[in-house]
Amino acid sequence: MLARVLVGVMWLVLAGSVRAHDPGLSTGRIEIRSSDVVWTVAFAPTDAEWLLPLDQRGGDEARQKTLLGQKAGELLGATEDGRALVLGPTEVVVRPGDNVELQTTLTRGPGRRLTFTLRCFPALPAGHRHYVSVVSEAGELLAEGLLHARAPSLTVEAPAGVPPEARPVLAAEPVPAATVVPPAPVTPRRSGFLLFFHLGVEHILVGYDHLLFLFGLLVVCTRWQTIAAIVTSFTIGHSLTLILATVGTVSLPGRVVEPAIAASIVVIALENLLRRGAEPRGRWWVTFFFGLVHGFGFATVLRDLGVAESPGGLLVPLAAFNLGVEAGQLLVAALVVPLLQWGRRRGVVTDRSVAVLSVLIGAAGLYWLVARTLLA
């Protein structure tokens, strides 16, 4: 029964997404100034396509940019003390890396409580997340958040805007003074730590290629010493490249990293088969090497979020994200290893079932390898 369950899980993974470690991530930056707000959001090209009507996808780039600019009011929404702010003209540009960036300006009133809502989650694939940072005119980090379909809004207490009599034009009538909410203290570093920790846990739990690699390592292990050595070497390996790639010391393009991650799964599965399910000796150094490769994949998230240039600093998000990855990895190992050990004692997990699982693991890795190279 256990073997059938494990085989079923492998088939589900095999049928998973080609970009198995990227469920969809976009970024935003909101600069609150005394008289207006500059809101910038950036989407990957594939995600930007989802924001367009079905019959307009894949068309001329200039026309797509025009359509996105026209739809900005449907994609973004903001209020000030409960009063809707009006979006100004929206500029759409394609940045290096093909990221599609939308930037708009909203005129402020004298209020303080600002709420920003990303309205486009229903149009995006399930699981899409949006990291947004809110900064002052001086560049101080006021707040940050990870938005998703169930929590599409972020509220921040900002310095009061310029009174209407000091400006010739307002987007709407100012609210009475009685409704103004006094500013509350913001603790961005604490909330930022939890945010990036959660992002790290989520990234490893939905990163089917990373999980499959880890499972392929553990499925043949019978001793806790070997398991500890493998988990530790993988942690050290991917932590090194995660740090170095995030700060920009080393860099590898995604077209190299993604196939290499898939290839690591194939190599581990072949080793399992060649050793006929026996526990390999010295696997820790192979794990360390491939951990370096997987670290580049983890770093892609932080690099895409631009944390190296974040006004809140790099140390907190880097440490929190890495700890989140480790927590997710240990959670998976804590569930899988006892299950495998129990199966061996009951005679359910045998050399034959390990061979079948290794074949399926290798098939999944080969599928992703072909999809990320020949079919990319």
Domain end, chosen from 143, 175, 207, is at 175
Least confident of 73-87, 186-200, 208-222, 356-370: 186-200
Residues near 168 by beta carbon (within 8 Å), at least 6 away in sequence: none
Residue 52: the pLDDT is 82
pLDDT single digits (tens) 141-167? 888 888 888 999 999 988 776 665 555
Give me the number of domains the chain comprises: 2
Mean pLDDT of 52-65: 73
Q: What angle do CA 327, 26, 154 make, to 5 degrees?
A: 80
Q: Are residues 41 and 131 in the same domain?
A: yes
Residues near 308 by beta carbon (within 8 Å), at least 6 away in sequence: 246, 247, 248, 302, 314
Residues near 105 by beta carbon (within 8 Å), at least 6 away in sequence: 36, 37, 38, 39, 87, 88, 89
DSSP letter at 151 equals B
Q: Are residues 81 and 127 in the same domain?
A: yes
Residue 285 — pLDDT band, cuts 50, 70, 90?
A: confident
Answer yes or no: is 182 within a domain: no
Domain end, chosen from 175, 210, 233, is at 175
Q: Are residues 146 and 212 in the same domain?
A: no
Residue 12 — pLDDT band, cuts 50, 70, 90?
A: very low
Q: Are residues 66 and 12 in the same domain?
A: no
Answer yes or no: is 185 within a domain: no
Residues near 351 by beta carbon (within 8 Å), at least 6 away in sequence: 276, 277
Answer yes or no: is 133 within a domain: yes
Contact 295, 240 (CB under 8 A): yes
Which structure tokens are listed for 215?
A: 């499972």
Q: Are residues 13 and 78 in the same domain?
A: no
From first CA to last CA, the distance across the chain in angstroms is: 37
Mean pLDDT of 328-334: 89
Which structure tokens are listed for 308?
A: 């190296």
Q: Are residues 345 and 283 in the same domain?
A: yes
* Count of beta carbons in the 10 Å neighbourhood of residue 151: 11
Residue 212 — pLDDT band, cuts 50, 70, 90?
A: very high
Which structure tokens are listed for 348?
A: 């359910």
Residue 181 above 50 pLDDT? Answer: no
Domain end, chosen from 118, 149, 175, is at 175
Q: Are residues 69 and 32 in the same domain?
A: yes
Q: Are residues 227 and 346 in the same domain?
A: yes
Q: In what order do the strands lie in the sheet with 113-118?
A: 83-84, 76-80, 113-118, 153-157
Q: Is 66 helix (H, G, I), strand (E, B) or coil?
A: helix
What is the Cα 163 distance to its own chain's centre? Answer: 39
Q: Are residues 339 and 302 in the same domain?
A: yes
Going by DSSP bridges, is the β-strand pair 141-147/129-136 parallel, antiparallel, or unpaired? antiparallel
Distances (CA, A) of 255 to 25, 234, 258, 376: 18, 22, 6, 9
Which of 40, 25, 48, 112 lies closest to 76 in space, CA to CA? Answer: 40
Q: Are residues 309 and 338 in the same domain?
A: yes
The overall average pLDDT reported for the chain is 80
Residue 369 above 90 pLDDT? Answer: yes
Distances (CA, A) of 15 to 11, 19, 342: 6, 12, 27
Provide φ and ψ at 148, rounded to 5°: -155, -175
- The domain of 352 spans 2-21+193-372
Q: How many helices (H) and strands (E) does the chain have?
A: 11, 10
pLDDT single digits (tens) 66-123? 888 888 888 999 999 999 998 888 898 887 655 788 999 999 888 889 999 999 999 8
Answer yes or no: is 364 within a domain: yes
Answer yes or no: is 180 within a domain: no
- Angle of the 254-274 helix axis to the 208-218 helix axis, nearest 10: 20
Q: Is 147 helix (H, G, I), strand (E, B) or coil?
A: strand
Q: Are residues 15 and 37 in the same domain?
A: no
